[in-house]
Amino acid sequence: MRKYLILISITWSAILPLMGQGEIDEQKRVMFRNESSYGGFLNSNGFGANYRYGFWRNARNQFILDGDLTYVKHPKEVKTQVPYNYSTHRYVFGKENLFWELKGMAGWQKELYRKYDKTGISVRMFYSGGLSIGFLKPIYYEVFTFSSIGEATTWDYRKFDAAIHQTQIGGRGPFFMGFDELRVVPGLTGKAGLSFEYSERDAIIHALEAGVSLTVYPRDIPIMATEQNNFLFINLIVGYRFGNIVNISEAARAKSRKERRQEKKSQKSTLPYPMF
């Protein structure tokens, strides 16, 4: 937890000096509006995508609905390749299952600092919690046997077996093999963090996010057969978010389009004339 606090403190220290700089924002703002946004993120044990819908309750607080789809890796995963055949698929020796999470959460987002100029940054704090559904798909390996003269021949596709020596694996099996054996594991999840929104347009959302997530399941998740597995996942999250204001008025949209046209004209007028 200490390293998470240090990271957030460093990020805040780097961004804080920028908050008072820039051109004054004279855009007409719609104070109470909903937001729809998408995000991609990396975390300590994988990566994922997010959708968030926010309902503004007052000038600074927003009720949010979050949906995450995450791919989870084991921290001891190391990809390797068959040393005698580099045309085969790379694989993780000892990996038993692929693991995805589908999360549905509800929570709140509070605006801590509002930007007052076009190049400023709005700082928001968010937290949410809900249910996580984990999906386990078994992994199949291509297994070889050797003839009396030492020639490798294809034998079969098998799940990982600790009794199979690494030299008998000929690579990773087909990705879609094993989907008919998919298992579901329910769990609980929550996350919290800070969002730094920096878009110059009031109707558009561009934000960088950093936070911490926690997911717990009723039993260990068997990702690796050769390593210790866990039922509790604590991750540091960093990501990027983009979206738009949902119910901004048509008048404000027209004004935004007009501003863009004026800005393009202004940029053209400031271009240096060619010298002959």
Query: Is residue 10 over pLDDT 50?
Result: no
- The band of 82, judged by pLDDT with boundaries at 50, 70 and 90, is low
Q: Name which residue leads in pLDDT, 23 or 72.
A: 72
Q: Which of 89, 99, 103 is nearest to 45 (CA)?
A: 99
Q: Give the integer Cα–Cα distance in Å for 155 and 173.
A: 12
**Domain spanning 2-27+34-137+181-250: which CATH class is it, in words?**
mainly beta
Mean pLDDT, rounded, for 44-68 = 93
What pLDDT does residue 271 have? 56
Verdict on whether the full-model pTM lies above 0.85: no
Which class for 273: exposed (0-12), middle (13-18), buried (19 or more C-beta within 10 A)? exposed
Query: Is residue 240 over pLDDT 70?
Result: yes
Q: Name which residue leads in pLDDT, 258 or 93.
A: 93
Give every CB contact of residue 137 below 8 A, 6+ residues apart in sequence.
97, 98, 99, 100, 178, 179, 181, 182
Mean pLDDT, rounded, for 222-229 = 91
Mean pLDDT, rounded, for 95-117 = 93
Query: Is residue 92 over pLDDT 80?
Result: yes
> For 133-160, how does the pLDDT look when each residue is reduced to its tens digit (9 = 90+)?
999 999 998 887 766 665 666 677 888 8
Domain boundaries, the chain: 2-27+34-137+181-250
Any idea of the CA torsion for 133, 138, 139, 144, to the nearest 10 degrees? 180
What pLDDT does residue 193 have? 97
What pLDDT does residue 117 have? 77
> For 104-114, how does the pLDDT look when each residue is reduced to its tens digit (9 = 90+)?
999 999 999 98
Averaged pLDDT score across all residues of the chain: 81
What pLDDT does residue 53 have? 96
> For 14-49, how does the pLDDT look when each residue is reduced to its tens digit (9 = 90+)?
445 544 444 544 554 545 578 999 999 999 999 999
